[in-house]
Amino acid sequence: MAAAPAHRLTSQVLRTEAQLRALLGEPAELTCAKITDRLNPMTRLFIERSPFVCVATSDADGNCDLSPRGDPAGFVRILDDRTLLIPERPGNRLADSLRNMLANPHVGLLFVVPGVTDTFRVNGRATISVDAELLAPCAVEGKPPLLGVLIDIDEAYTQCSKAFLRSHLWDPERFVDSKTMPTGGQVHRAIQGAQFDADQYDQERAERYRRRVGFY
């Protein structure tokens, strides 16, 4: 049985933007001034030096998905100041993001640069392309992607550092020992039951990753 929506657990909820603004106030004029519809020489650096971007999508009914994309820094190509190209690498074939884009082209991107606490946000419209000539420069290890996502930029702006500073994300002393976290196999076993061989799953996946099977 699905859990009760959070709003059923409390009556203290906001339902209008007017209520929200009464609580938070209005954004500063300078904050609004940084939002633009194109890149510039300064903001291009966030994309050129980022090896990691989060892609937010939703389907026609508003059901959301957030998916990571990662590759060597600069893997998201800047075609011009209003157009990006994200190569699509092999994954689990669920294709949640891509299916959402076909139903609803509006997407949100968050570019992260290791060690840098400012991030860069892009909101825009996605088109899935299979143009081999366009995708050829995205090849890694001699393998071009089968498809890529063109992004027409509607909004582009930097996000302030507060979230990264509060979280101490880049502080090595705060890094979590991966051995204290569940493995992929252990997560599967929690879902499927004790009969699932978590150790075998983890060993086989580690071997595939070691040989970079399906990376490109």
Token couple for 18: 């007017």
In this predicted structure, what is the pLDDT of residue 6? 64
CATH code for residues 27-167:
2.30.110.10
What the block records as the tokens of 181 is 């976290």
What does the pLDDT look like over 31-84, one tens digit per residue? 999 999 999 999 999 999 999 999 999 999 999 999 999 999 999 999 999 999
CB-based contacts of 28, cutoff 8 Å, min separation 6: none
Mean pLDDT of 116-123: 98
Check if the beta carbon of residue 155 is closer than 8 Å to that of residue 31: no
Average pLDDT over residues 123-141: 97
Two structure tokens written together for 123: 């909101």
Q: Tokens 């996000």 identify what position?
A: 159
Please tell me the predicted confidence (pLDDT) of residue 139: 97
The closest of 59, 63, 162, 50 to 109, measured between CA atoms, is: 50
Q: Residue 49: what are its φ and ψ, rounded to 5°?
A: -105, 5
143 φ/ψ angles, rounded to the nearest 5 degrees: -120, 110
Residue 46 structure tokens: 């966030």
| Mean pLDDT over the full length of the chain | 96
The mean pLDDT of 189-197, rounded to a whole number, is 98
Mean pLDDT for 95-101 is 98
- Calculate helix-pair angle for 184-192, 198-210, nearest 10 degrees: 150
pLDDT of residue 3: 64
Q: DSSP letters of 176-215?
A: PPGGGS--HHHHHHHHH-TTS-HHHHHHHHHHHHHTTTT-
pLDDT (tens digit per residue) in 170-192: 999 999 999 999 999 999 999 99
Between 118 and 9, name the one with better pLDDT. Answer: 118
**Predicted pLDDT of residue 9:** 84
What is the predicted pLDDT for the residue at 8?
78
For the residues 98-117, what does the mean pLDDT come to?
A: 98
* pLDDT value at 144 more than 80: yes
Please state the domain extents for the chain: 27-167, 176-210
CB count within 10 Å of CB 170 equals 13
CA–CA gap between residue 143 and residue 150 (Å, rounded): 19
